[in-house]
Structure 1
């Protein structure tokens, strides 16, 4: 039998809960102390599942030498050594090593970025620590911790239940059982199979209904999930659709390049060039022309973009989601906490025929009555305070600095009301200990709890007005409980409707005293009154909605609130007009029964109210049926199907359940709608940046191909050496491409319509631009050679060495400056484009020019590259023609010859 000291106990399901608690030295009322929890964490280790070990530095480095490009270079080096071209052979080996170092650095950065992103997605657990229910990171949970779980929570560790209220869990991830499992607290037979251990909670499963308390018995790899993880380790990172597109694209490019290289090789031999030299040139050309680092540069751009979003409280969990974000054209968003501030405060109370607006002052723990203050002394008001405290699973610690809140924001708002009324939740819980509970669900829209009060039982219930009134038969007015007639119910509903139209969210509160304990106690209730809650719109949302409209993105509000409340908020935000229809959930048919008229109505409606999870799912289906890319927000366990079905599932980080966060593609740490817009903007930026560096790399590499092909086929008296080709590839490919991947958003990026999901990285228009850029760069480089030969030196015979040097440096500088042509914003001056203002581009350009300068001033590099320009006139030509190529391309872009 194991103990808490060694990480868990073997058969907790077969022992009484008191025995389990005793063996773990755990106290269910107070939990562990912080020092004791820290001590146990040292012994048991972090509560995490070990996946495949992170690749070591040596393995990453060795992987750089396993590629067809390195093999080609190795063949070239071998040929050089065989024919005693020692300098060339050594230089090619140096190129292999430099390439390996660059690839190592890029892969190491990508791995580190992904590790950082994994840490950002860690989920919290509500545990009793130091006699208080506190949210702690799941990795810090230890054996003996008392944890509280409720619908929507992902279970963080294996635990033995000792208190459960209609608790059901989804254990399909562990057992394969698709139906929810009902939970109990009684001891079970020792040999009962895993799937039937109904008094246990297991790591990796989630709560689908109810709530409960349990004591942690096993953590990390000692859990049942950990045992499975030992047998089948987690799969490695799967390539994203974009990476797959780039890999396919690169493979096709390899074959095209090889075909061109063979043609150049044959042409060179026909024109009398040396066999070994032409072979080395062809191999170098293949290596230089194919952007083999394209997938890893794309991964880095995606990872850096995700980290940039994380600074804006947006956690994107999958690289592929970043690609989808840029094409999103429908956002289905919740109201509470997303479009509103989620600062839910009680601002109105109605009891009987009396009502009053209220203002809470937590500083002086008082309720300021702005109307009929006599309400405060009525029995009904005292019942409302009691129900607010008892029928509640949140916690609010006003005496801590800063204040600590945990749980649903509306329930926290109720606890603040109770605190301001001068009574604490702990006082009520002591006087009325909870016996049973009917948790809130989106179907019933009601929550109820059963409490012992001496020899009697007190039932506390709260919920949507129309749902709770249906379960009430009496109402408390003044000091008397009277029948609640149908006419009186209509009056209460009208009152709630009036408050909802003013923008308040209204809940009803009811109670009943029973002589005996009941199993089904949600009936024959007495209505105590209503509370209206204010949750003001976020001030930044109207501008964000306008930005969405200009970007061609439709925004739809989907809420469980009253239609009048939803309309009021939507109109304040500019999301709906007075004439726009608000579709009520009760009027929404099943998907297979929708007519074309119904579908058109849904497609054009800006607001849906009183919706169920099934309605959300049907809306996603409808938009996707019309080929739209849908972003769907959600926070509850019942939102999981819609989040999974949507192209981008967006979970709330503050009020969202762990299940919603687990199935979602993106988590908003601040729950703000404006963060969704920021994420879509960043998705567009990342896609555009990837396009920029793909165009840059291809146009630079194609210019080299055109140059070598022209020199070989036309039998020109100058050409580039194999090592020069490789050096150009090293200098101009990596740094500028990485810098382009970090370019900020263009000013008008949110003023164009989204790309469709099938948009290729390089379309026909961009292929045309790539070819044009390549021709200009290659033409300016050849032009520099002829100008130097004819105008400066006026020689009848070509000076092969000088012509080679002019061609070499002109091509390098032309490609370096070509990075400034990667701005595709219309109507902006060249110096105001995002690329020109990108400091990383300037760093890259400066570094490339410095390396190029060193190739001339460092004698060994000069000898290897065979360069020796001495005349300042020749250097003027080398500088002038790259600038000329930049100007020509800018003019072509200005007259819209190319993009």
Structure 2
């Protein structure tokens, strides 16, 4: 394709062995066999059973499967079924919560038009896009999507929308003539068109060079397919925790099987049953379900912040983001071109209002300007209104905001005219258009010809210097004067000032001549220069503050755009992403000569912009930054961004302006397209990670408390104080709701003044382990005392043989109520003590009494739900039969409540010690309350 741009049209035909008449049907069939169908290949999707088996390999699941098998072997099929049920619930919840819509390839295919207009056998035919082959001549008209990569051979006012491929925010003019291509930048060649781009206006013909996966779009599809998705840090942490837990459970289970075998005198069945209990106690069965559910709950909260999370594990990754690679158009900016400065001789007029809403004020030095006060301004905006091909659309059900159909620059000029009070319909009737000299790449201007009371009016707008070359007069206060060198110097100075402000500058000119003197060839000669319009796509008002917050949080922001460097630099400076004095703009054409290390060095400096980059170059930049150890979030809205979105640690697609391809490839979608929403998402990610740590301490605390009764049973030989089915009830039902309540703790003050958490930082650290063990042993001791006291009150003492009715689940044997009372006290003791633990776990160092429950009322509801489920399990007769419980008296409840208070007091004592002896002097505990201790 690169050489095609520089070839004359006849050589293009020779190169492809075709002609302006296209291919014959016979030749097309032969080429179809040679090159294949013009379509994108699909990546094979895993069948449901493969996905199921992949989740089944989870170590938590394997451990529980082993426990289920051992339960069945030892004669407890009911327990085996319960454990199997737990395994399958975990698998299906994980599959549901973690399922990511792998539809990027399908959506890429949907960008392809179904039919195209092609010359076959010398006649215009309509054929399936999939049958297009190299050498075909295709007809392109307004609204068409380009079906393959091709070289233009005819172009009539042809403009293409290249956003899906290059990221250019505005339609680009196309020509048929041979052009010199800048090395490695042929994507921007004006005589080439590419699959997935569309015709904004005009028409043309093109000869197809490449089809299917050989096109530029196909290369993007190939990149999207080959990128391997890595597990998120949270997934890796859960997997690592599972490995440790699996090892501990197996070792401890085997050790206590041996101990039980010895203490029971070689009873294998009892020893196996005991080993099952130990293994089940070591597995936090509800952890994965709780983590997934907590993430899902917080995802719903994030929707209210205009952030839609597609992959739950991405929430945690957000908290570790160190670099945000963002596009400019529509993310940093509003995505709406606005004319905000006008110039006529000796006057700069500022125009208020943003976007396409036709409401705004005109001022000079802050003073309001009345319509008609400056005659030259009247003429400037009359030209803006009539020399225009755009249409303004009011808000509707389809689009909530004012929008423009057509070229955004024309749209900005049209809106400026409407703000000034121009009535477009009246102007069009008074001065009807009789001819148009369209914009072209070479001319860089547009002219419209109008009837005017027997005369002809020519209105011209375009690139300032191109328009100035046609002028010999200037309009000053409504009067025409010679265009002197002094006037030219004033105009050049103003053009330079506007450009330095990041404005796109358009010049306007006109002339009026008698009808008899008009000729199309001389229409644009001897024009009268009127003025300048400076316009830009303004930055979103909230972005500057968001960039500052990101910087305070230790996050670098890097712009990677398909737009021009000066425009991107001006916007980046305005919102504070870069500093003017030391900003480095690296163009796509220069990237091939820049090493990976040089890219890393520039990003580290935090003062770089990448402009005019291709999809492959953007992907390379993202890979290089990741390989340097950064956690990268990448924004994108076009199909060209799909590979980078998938490669990034966090892919961020635009919801309003983004393509389906980008949305499907991303991890999160910004519903309002704003950069500020990314920063809010990072804050939420940090808070969620800390909250996950809080409920991990909470969950593992009761795991330790559950393990202790089985250890005492094996070592001391007294009745089993806690049943396996009760352990499962605690882990999978009773403790889930309080855990989820902890996940709703609001972000703590100062969380965005801290540097990003290291991606290597462990979720389950030694300090988290120690804290959960400390709480768990206190709960176990208190619950065990309640159990032994109940048994002692019923006549049991140490050394007493264990009767057969002091067991649960033995066929044909009714358990002794005294035994059930002790078991229930153990079971209820763990649950009620955890009510105190959930309150204590809200903070790590700071006293919990300094944190109002009103900030998280879900804690209260979680405790109510926890105790309500417990009451059902110990008072409902059917539940008593299933879970081996019996009703408790009010004195028992007083003891249990006291145990919960003891847990809170013990944790307060630990926090006091931490504050007194293990906190750096001067540390603000209120603002920096971490959960690692």
- The bucket for the TM-score relative to the shorter chain is 0.5 to 0.7
Residues 724-743 of structure 1 aligned to structure 2 (within 5 Å):
724-743=726-745
User: Which shifted more, 860-869 or 810-819?
Assistant: 860-869
Checking the alignment, whether the CA contact within 8 Å between 1:732 and 1:816 is kept in structure 2 is: no
- Classify 1:418/1:894 alpha carbon distance in 2 versus 1 (closer, same or farther; 3 Å): same
- Classify 1:500/1:638 alpha carbon distance in 2 versus 1 (closer, same or farther; 3 Å): farther
Q: What secondary structure is seen at the aligned counterpart in 2 of 1:373?
A: coil
Equivalent in the alignment of 1:289: 282
C-alpha distance in 2, partners of 1:745/1:474?
A: 62
User: Which shifted more, 666-675 or 378-387?
Assistant: 378-387
Checking the alignment, whether the CA contact within 8 Å between 1:348 and 1:357 is kept in structure 2 is: yes
Checking the alignment, whether the CA contact within 8 Å between 1:51 and 1:233 is kept in structure 2 is: no
The answer to whether structure 1 residue 327 and structure 2 residue 320 are counterparts is yes
C-alpha distance in 2, partners of 1:732/1:154?
A: 58
Checking the alignment, whether the CA contact within 8 Å between 1:653 and 1:661 is kept in structure 2 is: yes
Task: Provide structure 1 residue ranges, at least 5 long, that are not aligned to the other structure.
Answer: 1-15, 18-48, 82-87, 128-145, 156-160, 174-179, 185-198, 215-223
Residues 182-261 of structure 1 aligned to structure 2 (within 5 Å):
206-207=196-197, 240-261=232-253
C-alpha distance in 2, partners of 1:248/1:410?
A: 55
C-alpha distance in 2, partners of 1:211/1:233?
A: 33
The answer to whether structure 1 residue 832 and structure 2 residue 851 are counterparts is yes
- Classify 1:200/1:621 alpha carbon distance in 2 versus 1 (closer, same or farther; 3 Å): closer
User: Which shifted more, 267-276 or 848-857?
Assistant: 267-276
C-alpha distance in 2, partners of 1:522/1:582?
A: 43
Checking the alignment, whether the CA contact within 8 Å between 1:64 and 1:103 is kept in structure 2 is: no
Deviations 1:322-355 (CA, angstroms, capped at 9, x unpaired): 3332112344556776556667643432235554
The answer to whether structure 1 residue 278 and structure 2 residue 274 are counterparts is no
Q: What secondary structure is seen at the aligned counterpart in 2 of 1:298?
A: helix
Aligned-pair distance for 1:685? 2.5
Equivalent in the alignment of 1:494: 493
Q: What secondary structure is seen at the aligned counterpart in 2 of 1:509?
A: strand
Checking the alignment, whether the CA contact within 8 Å between 1:149 and 1:213 is kept in structure 2 is: no
Q: What secondary structure is seen at the aligned counterpart in 2 of 1:477?
A: strand
Q: What secondary structure is seen at the aligned counterpart in 1 of 2:722?
A: coil
- Classify 1:101/1:861 alpha carbon distance in 2 versus 1 (closer, same or farther; 3 Å): farther
Residues 626-645 of structure 1 aligned to structure 2 (within 5 Å):
627-633=629-635
Aligned-pair distance for 1:496? 3.9
The answer to whether structure 1 residue 350 and structure 2 residue 343 are counterparts is yes
- Classify 1:652/1:870 alpha carbon distance in 2 versus 1 (closer, same or farther; 3 Å): closer
The answer to whether structure 1 residue 893 and structure 2 residue 911 are counterparts is yes
Q: What secondary structure is seen at the aligned counterpart in 1 of 2:506?
A: strand
C-alpha distance in 2, partners of 1:640/1:472?
A: 43
- Classify 1:334/1:292 alpha carbon distance in 2 versus 1 (closer, same or farther; 3 Å): same
C-alpha distance in 2, partners of 1:116/1:821?
A: 42
The answer to whether structure 1 residue 505 and structure 2 residue 503 are counterparts is yes
Aligned-pair distance for 1:561? 8.6
Aligned-pair distance for 1:308? 2.9
C-alpha distance in 2, partners of 1:383/1:405?
A: 21
Equivalent in the alignment of 1:417: 416
Aligned-pair distance for 1:270? 1.1
Residues 237-636 of structure 1 aligned to structure 2 (within 5 Å):
240-272=232-264, 274-319=267-312, 321-331=314-324, 338=331, 345-358=338-351, 370=369, 373-376=373-376, 381-387=381-387, 389-390=388-389, 392=390, 395-397=392-394, 404-406=402-404, 411-419=410-418, 420-423=421-424, 431=433, 462=462, 469=465, 473-475=469-471, 477-478=474-475, 491-498=490-497, 505-509=503-507, 529-533=531-535, 540-541=542-543, 543-555=545-557, 581=581, 583=583, 585=585, 590=590, 603-604=604-605, 611-613=611-613, 627-633=629-635
Aligned-pair distance for 1:411? 4.9
Q: What secondary structure is seen at the aligned counterpart in 2 of 1:206?
A: coil
Equivalent in the alignment of 1:691: 693
Residues 109-128 of structure 1 aligned to structure 2 (within 5 Å):
110=97
1:807 corresponds, among 826, 830, 838, to 826
C-alpha distance in 2, partners of 1:805/1:665?
A: 46
Checking the alignment, whether the CA contact within 8 Å between 1:306 and 1:315 is kept in structure 2 is: yes
User: Which shifted more, 260-269 or 633-642?
Assistant: 633-642
Equivalent in the alignment of 1:140: none
- Classify 1:64/1:569 alpha carbon distance in 2 versus 1 (closer, same or farther; 3 Å): closer
Checking the alignment, whether the CA contact within 8 Å between 1:505 and 1:561 is kept in structure 2 is: no
Q: What secondary structure is seen at the aligned counterpart in 1 of 2:749?
A: coil
Checking the alignment, whether the CA contact within 8 Å between 1:280 and 1:722 is kept in structure 2 is: no
User: Which is greater in Rg?
Assistant: 2
Deviations 1:87-141 (CA, angstroms, capped at 9, x unpaired): x6546645655x4796588468738x978999xx9999999xxxxxxxxxxxxxx
Aligned-pair distance for 1:684? 1.5
C-alpha distance in 2, partners of 1:304/1:50?
A: 32
- Classify 1:237/1:618 alpha carbon distance in 2 versus 1 (closer, same or farther; 3 Å): closer
Deviations 1:141-169 (CA, angstroms, capped at 9, x unpaired): xxxxx996699x999xxxxx999825487
Task: Provide structure 2 residue ranges, at least 5 long, that are not aligned to the other structure.
Answer: 1-20, 23-41, 114-139, 149-153, 167-171, 177-190, 205-214, 512-517, 801-817, 919-931
Checking the alignment, whether the CA contact within 8 Å between 2:502 and 2:571 is kept in structure 1 is: no
- Classify 1:743/1:556 alpha carbon distance in 2 versus 1 (closer, same or farther; 3 Å): same
Checking the alignment, whether the CA contact within 8 Å between 2:277 and 2:710 is kept in structure 1 is: no
Aligned-pair distance for 1:260? 0.7
Q: What secondary structure is seen at the aligned counterpart in 1 of 2:531?
A: strand
Aligned-pair distance for 1:623? 5.9
2:783 corresponds, among 781, 784, 791, to 781
- Classify 1:831/1:714 alpha carbon distance in 2 versus 1 (closer, same or farther; 3 Å): farther
Checking the alignment, whether the CA contact within 8 Å between 2:248 and 2:282 is kept in structure 1 is: no
Equivalent in the alignment of 2:72: 78
Residues 32-111 of structure 1 aligned to structure 2 (within 5 Å):
68=62, 71-72=65-66, 74-75=68-69, 78-79=72-73, 81=75, 89-90=77-78, 93=81, 97=85, 99=86, 103=90, 106=93, 110=97
Aligned-pair distance for 1:304? 3.8
User: Which shifted more, 419-428 or 315-324?
Assistant: 419-428
C-alpha distance in 2, partners of 1:874/1:525?
A: 99
Deviations 1:444-475 (CA, angstroms, capped at 9, x unpaired): 9x975687989x99996646xxxx53785344
Equivalent in the alignment of 2:6: none
Aligned-pair distance for 1:755? 0.9
Aligned-pair distance for 1:841? 3.8
Note the aligned Cα RMSD (angstroms).
6.3
Checking the alignment, whether the CA contact within 8 Å between 2:164 and 2:640 is kept in structure 1 is: no
C-alpha distance in 1, partners of 2:560/2:736?
A: 46
Aligned-pair distance for 1:267? 0.8
Q: What secondary structure is seen at the aligned counterpart in 1 of 2:469?
A: strand
The answer to whether structure 1 residue 822 and structure 2 residue 812 are counterparts is no
Aligned-pair distance for 1:257? 0.3
Equivalent in the alignment of 1:750: 752
Deviations 1:798-855 (CA, angstroms, capped at 9, x unpaired): 7765544432321232335433343246546446268x84344433332222222122
Equivalent in the alignment of 2:121: none
- Classify 1:565/1:527 alpha carbon distance in 2 versus 1 (closer, same or farther; 3 Å): farther
